[in-house]
Each structure stands twice: as structure tokens, then as C-alpha cells.
Amino acid sequence: MVFYTTMDSPIGRLYLAGTERGVCRIAFDEEALRDWLVRHLGAEPGDEAGPLAEVVAQLREYFSRLRRQFDVPMDLRGTSFQRAVWREVASIPYGTTATYGEIACRLGRGGRAARAVGAAVGANPLPILVPCHRVVGAGGSLVGYGGGLSRKVWLLRLEGVAVDWEGG
């Protein structure tokens, strides 16, 4: 069974899906959520929120600056390399950033694996919970975010990171 719910947030509506094991996907649009579920689980979301109520509650606390870490079961699906990258990304403290190259080095892959790390970060199925918005390019440059750079900037500023971006 795949559970499903939505929540309104300061960065737009979020679409959440989960299994009995935990939340498995957060998307910024419903079509992206459905595509991911079909590709990775071979299923469409159900009509029930099921175990997602706690995820929604913790996300609301995060957006209200009352929560800095998440403590919800996650059903992360990906390659062993992707899961290693996501664990490393999840360890980046609130209000700080790390570069793709730094993450590659922490994983023992050397800075040349930064592109592979970037691909894994780009495949993160749980933005915000696995805070890929905290990953930046060399020298702190803002590069890519599945939800768009304006959301990345908003999340970083929420956490108190000084971001110089005028966006569009």
C-alpha cells in the first residue's frame, strides 16, 4: 500500500507518499510524485494519509523554525552509492552547507567524484528531509535544485544561511 497526502507550505504545495516502512517521496508537483512512484514502486498513491501525519507535523515545525532535524521513518530507495550520498547529505547540520566535492571526499571518493555525488543528490526522493538544499557548488555557488533555485534559496535563508541571490 502506498499512502498519500499533500500539505501547503511556504514554498508551495508538497506532495508526500509513503509505505508501511516510512515516507518514500516528497515532490513539488503531483505529476512528479506519480511518475516516481510508478517507476520505483510500480504503484499509484492511495487515498489515505496513513503514517504520513507525523511527517507533515515535523515539516510544519521545520517551516516554523521549531525543528532543525527530522525524526521520521524513511523508505529510501536507490543504489547503495545514492543511499550513501543521502546519508551524508542528511548529516549536514541545519544552517550550514557543504559542496559536492566535500561530500565526495567524506565518502572516500575524492573530489573528482563530485559529479557522481551531484547526480545522486539530484535523485534525492526526500527533499527537505534529506536536506539537499544544503549542498552547493564549489566556492558556495548555487547550482540546481529539483524544486527550483528560488525554493533552495528560501530554505537556506529559513535556516539562517546568508545567500546572495536575486533569482528569477
Instruction: Report the pLDDT value the prediction gives residue 167, as an integer from 0 to 100.
Output: 64
**Across 48-52, 116-120, 142-146, least confident range:** 48-52
- Same fold flag, 3-63 and 80-158: no
Which 3 state secondary structure label does DSSP give 5?
Answer: strand
Smallest CA-to-CA distance from 142 within 28, 110, 151, 29 is with: 151
The per-residue pLDDT for 34 is: 80
Contacts of 166 (CB under 8 A, 6+ apart): none
- Helices 114-122, 80-90: inter-axial angle, 10-degree rounding: 90
| Class of domain 80-158 as given by CATH | mainly alpha
**What share of the chain has pLDDT > 90, as a percent?**
65
pLDDT band (50, 70, 90) for residue 50: confident
For the annotated catalytic residues, the residue numbers are 132
Domain ranges for the chain, please list them. Answer: 3-63, 80-158
Residue 129: pLDDT band with limits 50, 70, 90: very high
pLDDT at 2 over 90: no
C-alpha to C-alpha distance for 75 and 121, rounded to whole angstroms: 16
* Average pLDDT score over the chain: 90
Output the CATH code of domain 3-63: 3.30.160
Coil, strand or helix at 117 = helix
Average pLDDT of the residues in 117-140: 94
Percent of the chain with pLDDT over 70: 96
- pLDDT, residue 32, reads 80
Encode 22-43: b = buried (16+ Cβ within 10 Å), e = exposed.
bbbbbbbeeeebbebbeeebee
Q: Is the pLDDT of residue 108 over 80?
A: yes
Cα–Cα distance measured from residue 50 to residue 20, given in angstroms and rounded to the nearest whole number: 8
Rounded CA gap, 129 and 54, in Å? 12
- Measured from the Cβ of residue 106, the count of other Cβ atoms closer than 10 Å reads 15
